[in-house]
Amino acid sequence: MVIGGVGEDRADRIFGALADRTRRDIVRRAMGGTLSVSGLARLYPMSTTAVQKHVAVLGEAGLVHRTRRGREQLVQTNIDTVAEAGELLAQFEQLWRDRLGRIGDVLAEPERGESR
């Protein structure tokens, strides 16, 4: 199944990556500008290697761009993928609003044989 032009595998990667609190925080922080992985590692109670693994998951999902400057690995949010995730969520919201609206319409209909 394709959701709004995005394949299921891609949607799984995006939302799987965003399912983790630390990864969501990294995406938020990197929206403000380019950050180094070592700088990010100082912000969390985990090793630099653990932060690198989180960044790798985000990179595979397309949520961040990774570049190198000398020995530093730099991270920047890919706002297009974040917007894509937002669009997917908006589509799900509309789907459920439509379904709830139809349920309301059914509940508002008088039963057959009942007069008003």
Q: What is the CATH number of the domain that holds 78?
A: 1.10.10.10
Per-residue pLDDT for 13 more than 70? yes
Q: Which residue has the tokens 């799987």?
A: 16
In a domain, 111, yes or no: no
Segment 26-84, tens digit of pLDDT: 999 999 999 999 999 999 999 999 999 999 999 999 999 999 999 999 999 999 999 99
Residue 39, CA distances (Å) to 61, 85, 107 in order: 22, 26, 56
In a domain, 18, yes or no: yes
Pick from 93, 35, 106: which is nearest to 69 by CA? 35
* Model pLDDT, residue 5: 58
Query: Would you say 37 and 75 are in contact if contact means Cβ atoms under 8 Å apart?
Result: yes
pTM above 0.85, yes or no: no
In a domain, 108, yes or no: no
In a domain, 106, yes or no: no
In a domain, 48, yes or no: yes
In a domain, 104, yes or no: no
In a domain, 42, yes or no: yes
Residue-number span of the structural domain to which 71 is assigned = 6-99
